[in-house]
Amino acid sequence: MSRPAAFLLLLALGACSQGPAPGPAPVALDCAKGFEPLSQAIAAQPSFTEAEAPGEPYRYINAEDGKVSYVITRPGAPGHPAIIRQVGGETTGCAFGDKAGYDQLLAYLSSLSGARKK
């Protein structure tokens, strides 16, 4: 095969490629797993990092692309133990502890989102 023909073949093959394969899907909130196992699975995801939150009773774990975020409560947080998952404008979660405290946590996170939108 001549060099020009080989080059054209490589260009054609490159045009057909789909680019890099998407990474694994973010951990779904399967509340039946329980707080500790689910927290560990979330923290162990590749391409996710934990944001520093000194003095706050929460762990913030975010996808590097910013599309998915998790809030995991620590002792002393309202509704502890609880896990919140935010994807786009949708917030879902698992309330393993006090329901009123969980609702307070959701209201707090909603107020942060509202403050960023203004």
Cα(83)–Cα(72) distance, integer angstroms:
5
Helix, coil or strand: residue 21? coil
- Which residues lie below 8 Å from residue 23, measured CB to CB, with a gap of 6+? 46, 47
Residue 36: per-residue pLDDT:
97
| Arithmetic mean of pLDDT, 63-87 | 94
Q: What mean pLDDT is predicted for residues 71-99?
A: 92
Residue 67 has pLDDT above 50, yes or no: yes
Note the pTM of the prediction, 2 decimals.
0.75
Looking at residue 19, what is its pLDDT? 52
